[in-house]
Amino acid sequence: MFEWMYWTSQTLFVVSGLFLILLIMAVLDMRKPSTPRKGFLPILTTRGDRLFIGIIFCIVIGLIWL
């Protein structure tokens, strides 16, 4: 099924970690919904928004590093 992609242990850890984080965030949001708040950025963000911004920021840093 995944013959087109070379799966290394690093790739497996990253994909598994992202899936686990999304699963934890989904369960956390069902049990305790987040309310928008203003933090470091001058915009209202929820817990999921901050996670998304953090993941995108890490991807950009990784691409710049390459």
DSSP letter string, 12-42: HHHHHHHHHHHHHHHHHHHHS----EE-SSS
- Nearest residue to 32 via CA among 46, 43, 13, 15: 46
47, part of any domain: yes
3, part of any domain: no
Residue-wise pLDDT tens digits, 42-55: 889 888 888 998 99
61, part of any domain: yes
Contact predicate 55/18, CB 8 Å: yes
Residue-wise pLDDT tens digits, 23-37: 999 999 899 988 888
16, part of any domain: yes
2, part of any domain: no
Task: Give residue 20's domain range.
Answer: 9-32+41-65
4, part of any domain: no
Q: Which two tokens stand for residue 29?
A: 């949001």
| Overall number of domains in the chain | 1
13, part of any domain: yes
Share of the chain above pLDDT 90, in %: 33
